[in-house]
């Protein structure tokens, strides 16, 4: 009995078949049989094989009709094999010199294993560097023989059949054969891995696979792609029958659906029935998703969630955007006006100014938010840097004295954007802005996400329509080098919403530093500036924007509310910044603070917060003051806008659904009772992780001064922080 049986299907590769056969017959280790599988005795490949069979008795050809496909050819060769171990080699593959000797030595060292996985090399036939996709999977395997549970990443479905050698008795005793026709490697590899008891790995290249210029036949358009779902279902069904442990089921599930998602997203593979493919894949995903499974992060995680929800239209839109994002980012910008374009292009050819920092907040609304806080700290820690704040013409008056600014669209605006090494924004710079090599873009964000953001908006038609091109969105995201977060929830959600290669900085939001550094005198000063009467309790009412509404509507009659809760209170009304009209909507006990540039000042002045779903609740929670959620349309908002968690299950305090309930919690004091305090404590534990008063310092040191991560000041634990005092309430 020979040591190896080498099965080589030959359909469609007659022109290259001799290279494969020569690579086997030239091996220094000669104890093998070579089994070419030809279509028929008169097929072109049969003529090639006949000459080899006449010259070498180890060549024993067999026949399998083309209708049987690759799976049939391999199964035919397997039935004819008599060797101790079987190796499958495609007709356009070659064995590297010394391959069989290396396999024999490894098998002798590890003993009687069912499968020996090895590395392979994919070689472009025209140009490009070879790749070794099996190496990462095998790099973490144990040194000797091991059970599959010790290397759960070896699911079998991510490696071709010719990247392993199999003990023939193992295959025959367990009736393992190649299933179906197309994508048969997926099914075979998965079934083999499920049934194997002892496996091993050889961390060396054994097979060289020649990549065809026209690509793999499986990548061509056609109805055969539906068979990928057949193989996926087969493997996952067997895994369920076998009650596969969770640590092995998760990588199997992910690797199978990585292939499914790749096919679903490819614009040319599915010429028809794309929606049917997606729907069936979605059903399989939901049926076989492991218990407690969490989708991966980034763009892959977005695809997983869309597949799980069956959102085909959103999936198609998102993938189209992703494919064009990199191309869009590389295009030469086209600011409006020929003269402006020429000036900007000329400035881009000048060297970067390594001491120039450009800031912008809320698309130029003024000197505010995280960029303003970073700017202020940079003036102290990095005075050598020149800073320019970008503002719209109407916001020039909001820029503090001594702060250099540039009006958006002006000549200076384009000059500093072209030359600056550092660009800091809490939204995004214009599409025309070029990400120059060597420049550093910092995205600070401007809130913790409750509602869906970025690419996650694709599943909500109302929001997606308002968002515009996801291709342009992703192109803007690709400019980021750093993305700032204030809690681990934000870290995870931003990774999903803005998939890109940027680095996440879990440093906290610089604008929230003041909540840990402000004094009682600061609070009194702000209240006086806002017109809060002495001795009154100030309730900040800050509703968010509704994508399904046409304008600002509070959803609450504030005059009636003030009448219902008594004279001890005044209400600070802060509408979403979309509705900052520059005119007051207040009167009496209602003070309109929408136009006040600093939301931090407004929060410091308030003794309690009333909001619906605004991200201001996450910032205000740093003050450890009462918060009431007025959720009169939660169900509509959740279905229309989409949310990342159920606020009703994890509220920051008391929840009111009607104006009467809202007034009642203030009349009876329950808005600040022990239950409300306990809810707020849990909320703070989850969402106030990094806001400790030193966020701006961490950002300046890491991003603008280039200090190493290990030298950045650590986050102060939540229990050790002392929030700014409230004016009229005593904190528990």
Q: Which pLDDT belongs to residue 45?
A: 78
Check if the beta carbon of residue 479 is closer than 8 Å to that of residue 681. no
Is 582's pLDDT higher than 50? Answer: no
Is 146's pLDDT higher than 90? Answer: yes
Check if the beta carbon of residue 166 is closer than 8 Å to that of residue 213. no
Q: Which residue has the tokens 């979403």?
A: 576
Is 14's pLDDT higher than 80? Answer: no
Which of the two residues, 158 and 211, has the higher pLDDT score?
158
Is 682's pLDDT higher than 60? Answer: yes
The pLDDT tens digits for 250-267 are: 999 999 998 888 887 776
> How many Å apart are CA 486 and CA 476, to the nearest integer?
21
Confidence tier at 210 by pLDDT (50, 70, 90): confident
Q: Which pLDDT belongs to residue 214?
A: 47
Which of the two residues, 659 and 637, has the higher pLDDT score?
659
The pLDDT tens digits for 500-517 are: 778 889 999 999 999 999
Is 144's pLDDT higher than 90? Answer: yes
Number of residues that make up the chain: 732
For 136-194, give the secondary structure using H, E and C: HHHHCCCCCCECHHHCCCCCCCCCCHHHEEEEHHHHHHCCCCCCCCCCHHHHHHHHHHH
Q: Which of 9-18, 25-34, 606-615, 651-660 has the lowest mean pLDDT?
A: 9-18
Is 611's pLDDT higher than 60? Answer: yes
Which of the two residues, 420 and 335, has the higher pLDDT score?
420
Which residues, in sequence order, are bridge partners of residue 360? Answer: 390, 425
> How many Å apart are CA 91 and CA 21, to the nearest integer?
8
3-state secondary structure of 91: coil
Which residues, in sequence order, are bridge partners of residue 627? Answer: 609
Q: How many CB atoms lie within 10 A of CB 226?
A: 17
Q: What is the pTM of this model?
A: 0.57
The pLDDT tens digits for 316-340 are: 776 666 555 444 444 445 566 677 8
Q: Which pLDDT belongs to residue 581?
A: 42
The pLDDT tens digits for 291-312 are: 888 888 777 788 888 888 888 8
For 411-443, give the secondary structure using H, E and C: HHHHHHHHHEEEEEECCCCCCCCCCCCCCEEEE
The pLDDT tens digits for 526-578 are: 999 999 999 899 999 999 877 655 445 656 889 999 999 999 999 999 986 44
Name the region of 469 (left: φ>0; alpha: ψ -120 to 50; beta: rest): beta
Is 188's pLDDT higher than 80? Answer: yes
Check if the beta carbon of residue 507 is closer than 8 Å to that of residue 482. no
For 494-555, give the secondary structure using H, E and C: HHHHCCCCCEEECCCCHHHHHHHHCCHHHHHHHHHHHCCCCCCEEEEEECCCCCCCCCCCCC
């Amino acid at each position: 009995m020979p040591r190896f049986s080498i099965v080589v299907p030959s359909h469609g590769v007659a022109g290259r078949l001799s290279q494969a056969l020569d690579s086997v017959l030239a091996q220094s280790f000669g104890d093998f049989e070579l089994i070419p599988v030809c279509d028929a005795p008169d097929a072109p490949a049969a003529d090639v094989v006949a000459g080899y069979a006449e010259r070498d008795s180890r060549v024993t050809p067999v026949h399998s009709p083309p209708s049987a496909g690759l799976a049939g050819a391999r199964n035919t060769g397997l039935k004819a094999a008599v060797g101790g171990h079987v190796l499958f080699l495609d007709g356009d593959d070659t064995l590297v010199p010394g391959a069989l000797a290396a396999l024999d030595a490894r098998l002798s060292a590890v003993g009687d294993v069912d499968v020996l996985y090895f590395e392979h090399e994919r070689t472009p036939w025209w140009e490009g560097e070879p790749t070794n996709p099996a190496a990462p999977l095998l790099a973490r395997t144990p040194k000797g023989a091991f059970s599959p549970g010790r290397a759960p990443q070896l699911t079998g479905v991510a490696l071709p059949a010719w990247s392993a050698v199999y003990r023939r008795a193992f295959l025959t005793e367990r009736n393992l054969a190649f299933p179906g026709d197309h994508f048969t490697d997926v099914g075979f590899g998965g079934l083999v891995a499920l049934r194997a008891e002892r496996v091993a790995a050889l961390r060396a290249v054994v097979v060289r696979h020649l990549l065809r210029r026209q690509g793999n036949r499986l990548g061509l358009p056609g109805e055969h792609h539906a068979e990928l779902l057949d193989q996926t279902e087969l493997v996952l069904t067997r895994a369920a029958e076998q009650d596969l442990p969770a640590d092995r089921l998760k990588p199997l599930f992910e690797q199978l659906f990585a292939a499914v998602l790749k096919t679903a997203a490819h614009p040319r593979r599915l010429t028809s029935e794309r929606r049917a493919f997606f729907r069936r894949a979605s059903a399989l995903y939901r049926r076989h998703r492991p218990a407690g499974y969490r989708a991966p992060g980034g763009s892959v995680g977005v695809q997983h969630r869309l597949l799980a929800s069956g959102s085909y239209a959103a999936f198609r839109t998102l993938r189209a955007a992703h494919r064009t994002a990199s191309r869009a980012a590389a295009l030469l910008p086209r600011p409006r006006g020929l003269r402006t374009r020429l000036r900007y292009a000329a400035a881009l050819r000048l060297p970067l100014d390594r001491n120039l920092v450009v800031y912008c907040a809320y698309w130029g609304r003024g000197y505010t938010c995280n960029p303003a806080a970073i700017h202020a700290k940079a003036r102290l820690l990095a005075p050598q840097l020149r800073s320019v704040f970008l503002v719209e013409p109407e916001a020039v008056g909001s820029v503090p004295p001594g702060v250099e600014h540039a009006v958006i669209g002006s000549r200076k605006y384009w000059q500093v954007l072209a030359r600056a090494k550092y660009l800091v924004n809490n939204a995004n710079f214009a599409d025309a802005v070029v990400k120059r090599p060597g420049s550093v873009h910092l995205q600070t964000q401007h809130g913790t996400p409750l509602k869906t953001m970025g690419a996650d908006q694709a599943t909500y038609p109302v929001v997606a329509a308002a968002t515009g091109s996801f291709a342009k969105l992703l192109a803007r995201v690709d400019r980021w080098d750093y993305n700032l977060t204030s809690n681990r929830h934000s870290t995870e959600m931003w990774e999903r919403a803005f998939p890109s290669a940027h680095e996440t900085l879990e440093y906290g939001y610089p604008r929230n530093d003041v909540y840990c550094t402000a004094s009682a005198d600061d609070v009194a000063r702000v209240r006086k500036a806002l017109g809060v009467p002495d001795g009154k309790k100030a309730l900040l009412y800050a509703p968010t924007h509704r994508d399904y509404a046409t304008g600002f509507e509070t959803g609450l009659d504030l005059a009636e509310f003030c009448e219902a809760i008594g004279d001890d209170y005044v209400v600070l009304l802060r509408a979403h910044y979309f509705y900052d009209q520059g005119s007051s909507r207040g009167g009496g006990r209602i003070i309109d603070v929408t136009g006040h540039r600093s939301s931090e000042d407004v929060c410091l002045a308030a003794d309690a917060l009333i909001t619906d779903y605004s991200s201001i609740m996450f910032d205000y929670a740093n003050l450890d003051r009462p918060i009431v959620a007025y959720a009169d349309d939660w169900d509509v908002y959740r279905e229309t806008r989409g949310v990342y968690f159920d606020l009703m299950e994890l509220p920051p305090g008391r929840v009111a659904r009607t104006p009467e309930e809202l007034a009642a919690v203030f009349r009876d004091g329950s808005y600040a009772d022990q239950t409300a305090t306990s809810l707020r404590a849990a909320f703070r534990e989850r969402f106030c992780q990094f806001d400790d008063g030193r966020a701006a310092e961490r950002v300046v040191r890491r991003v603008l001064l280039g200090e190493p991560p290990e030298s950045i000041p650590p986050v102060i634990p939540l229990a050790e922080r002392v929030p700014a005092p409230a004016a009229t309430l005593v904190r528990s």
